[in-house]
Amino acid sequence: MQPAVYRILDANLDRAREGLRVIEEWCRFGLNHAEFTEQCKHLRQELATWHHSDLRSARNTPDDPGTGLTHANEATRGTIAHVLQANFCRVEEALRVLEEYGKVYRQDLTEAVKHMRYQVYTLESQLITQHRHQKLHQAMLYLITSPSETVFETVEAALKGGLTLVQYRDKDADDLTRLNHARALRRMCHEYGALFIVNDRIDLALAVDADGVHLGQHDFPVELARQMLGSQRIIGRSTHNGDDLYRAIQEGADYVGVGPVYETPTKAGRPAAGLDCVRHALEQCPIPWFAIGGIDANTVHDVLAAGAQRVSVVRAIMQAEQPTLAVQYFMAQLDQKRRSQMGQKFAKQDSITDPWM
Ligand SMILES: Cc1ncc(COP(=O)(O)OP(=O)(O)O)c(N)n1
Ligand SMILES: Cc1nc(C(=O)O)sc1CCOP(=O)(O)O
Ligand SMILES: [Mg+2]
C-alpha cells in the first residue's frame, strides 16, 4: 500500500481525536454534562485503538506542506458555538477521510469509523439542542423587533447591551424582505451569541435556520410545529389566560409569553390581562415564561413585584434613544430581582437547615 495512505490515516486520526477533545472539554467544564463528556471520551478512545504503530511511524511532519496552511476563520471564533461548530466540522471531515482511505487499508476501520460519524452527528444535534435550551433558560430579557428603518442598528445596539434573545416580527413586509431581514438578523444574533426566533412563520424559521419560532393562539398548533421543526428548535406560544397557559404547557411549548399585562398600541385591540396573569403564571408555569405587553422602565417594577422573572418588550427597546442603555437598565432590574430571590431562597434554606439558629 502507498505510504501516503498511512500518512493520511495517521493525520486524520489525530485530527478527529483533537477535535473531539476540544468538544469534550466544553461538555465537561462548560456544560458539566457527564453523558456528553463520556460519549466524546469513548469516541476518542475508540479512535486511539486504531492508531497503530504502522500509521504513526509513517508520520513526516517536516515534509508536510499542509502544516503552514491556515484559514483566517481559524484565528477568530467569536463565540463558544463557533468553536464547537468548527470542531464538529473538523471531526466529521476527518472521519469521512478515514472512512474513504480506510477502504484501501482495512475494511473494518471503514465500518467502525462510519458508525462513529453517525454518533458524532447525533452528539452535535444533541449539543445544539442543549445549548439552545440553556440559553433560553438563562435569558431574562426578550426583544421583539418592530419594522423600522434602523432595525439592524437598534438590534445590534441592544445586543451590545447584553441581550441574548431576539424575535423578528414584521406583520406587513413582503416575503423577500422578511427573508433578507431574518437572515441578516440571525447572523447578527449568532455573532453576539444570542438566540434568534422568528414570529409566526415556521417556513421562514427553517429557511434562515433560526433557533425557533413564536406562535400565537391563532397560529399553527404547537404539535404540528414540533413535527415540522423537530426537537432541536425552540417553540414559543402566546398565552392570554390560564387555559391558554395550561394548554401550551401540555402541548410541549418550550416557553410562553404571558400577557398583555397592560394594553399596548403594539397589539392594539387586545384587552389587558393585567398583573393577575403574571401572578397566575408564577404559581402555575414550570417552563420559562415572559411577561409581555406595555412593559417599560416605569411599569417593569410592578411586573417584577407581581412575580415575573423574565420580560419581553417591543417599544421600550425598539423606540429607545439608546437601546444599549435600555437593555442594561432592564437587565439590571431583572438581575436585582433574581439576586433578591436567590437570597430569600438561601435565607429560607438556612433557617430550615442551620442547627445553630
Ligand atoms: C414572546 C411573545 N409573546 C407573545 C407574542 C404575541 O404573539 P401573537 O399572539 O401570535 O401575536 P403576533 O406577535 O403574531 O402579532 C409574541 N410575538 N412574542
Ligand atoms: C406582540 C405582543 N404580544 C402580546 C401578547 O400579550 O401576546 S403583547 C405584544 C406587544 C408588546 O409590545 P410593547 O412592548 O411595545 O407593549
Ligand atoms: Mg402570531
Q: What is the per-residue pLDDT across 94-107, written as a single tens digit (0 to 9) for each?
A: 999 999 999 999 99
| C-alpha 305 – ligand 1 centre gap (Å) | 23
pLDDT (0 to 100) of residue 54: 86
Confidence class of residue 351 from pLDDT cuts 50, 70 and 90?
very low
Q: Which residues are annotated as a binding site for Mg(2+)?
A: 200, 219
In 139-218, which residue ranges form alpha helices assigned H by DSSP? 151-160, 175-191, 202-207
Catalytic residue (choose from 238, 310, 312, 337):
238
Determine whether domain 139-351 maps to CATH 3.20.20.70: yes
% of the chain exceeding 70 in pLDDT: 91
Q: Is 169 a catalytic residue?
A: yes
Closest CA to 218 of 200, 192, 193, 233: 200
Weakest mean pLDDT among 87-96, 128-137, 348-357:
348-357
Q: Which helix (H) or strand (E) holds 211?
A: none
Catalytic residue (choose from 41, 77, 226, 267):
267
Q: How far apart are CA 191 and CA 185, in angstroms?
A: 10
| C-alpha 3 – ligand 3 centre gap (Å) | 61
Mean pLDDT of 215-234: 96
Please, which residues bridge with residue 6 across strands? none
Residue 224 has pLDDT above 70, yes or no: yes
Average confidence score pLDDT of the chain: 92
DSSP single-letter state for residue 105: T
Closest CA to 329 of 289, 300, 353: 300
- Name the residues around ion ligand 3, CB cutoff 5 A: 200, 216, 219
Mean pLDDT of 287-291: 98
Output the CA torsion 68→69→70→72 (10° steps).
Answer: 120
Q: What is the per-residue pLDDT across 123-175, written as a single tens digit (0 to 9) for each?
A: 999 998 988 999 999 999 999 999 999 999 999 999 999 999 999 999 999 99
Residue 282 has pLDDT above 70, yes or no: yes
Q: How far apart are CA 103 and CA 170, in angstroms?
A: 53
pLDDT (0 to 100) of residue 341: 81
Cell of 197: 426566533
Mean pLDDT of 316-333: 98
Confidence class of residue 72 from pLDDT cuts 50, 70 and 90?
low
Residue 76 has pLDDT above 70, yes or no: no
> Ligand 2 atom closest to Cα of 264?
16
DSSP single-letter state for residue 271: P
Q: What does pTM read for this prediction?
A: 0.85
pLDDT (0 to 100) of residue 132: 93
Residue 355 has pLDDT above 90, yes or no: no
Mean pLDDT of 291-313: 97
Rounded to the nearest 5 degrees, what angle is found at the Cα of 147, between the Cα atoms of 144 and 151? 75
| C-alpha 177 – ligand 2 centre gap (Å) | 22
User: Which of 142, 166, 169, 244 for a ligand 1 pocket mutation test, highest count of atoms within 8 Å of Cβ?
Assistant: 169
CA distances from 252 to 15, 182, 247, 287 (A): 40, 25, 9, 10
Q: Write down the domain spans for the chain.
A: 2-60+75-134, 139-351
Q: Whose CA is nearest to atom 16 of ligand 2?
A: 294
In 26-164, which residue ranges form alpha helices assigned H by DSSP? 34-50, 53-56, 72-75, 80-102, 107-138, 151-160
| C-alpha 168 – ligand 3 centre gap (Å) | 11
Q: Which helix (H) or strand (E) holds 66?
A: none
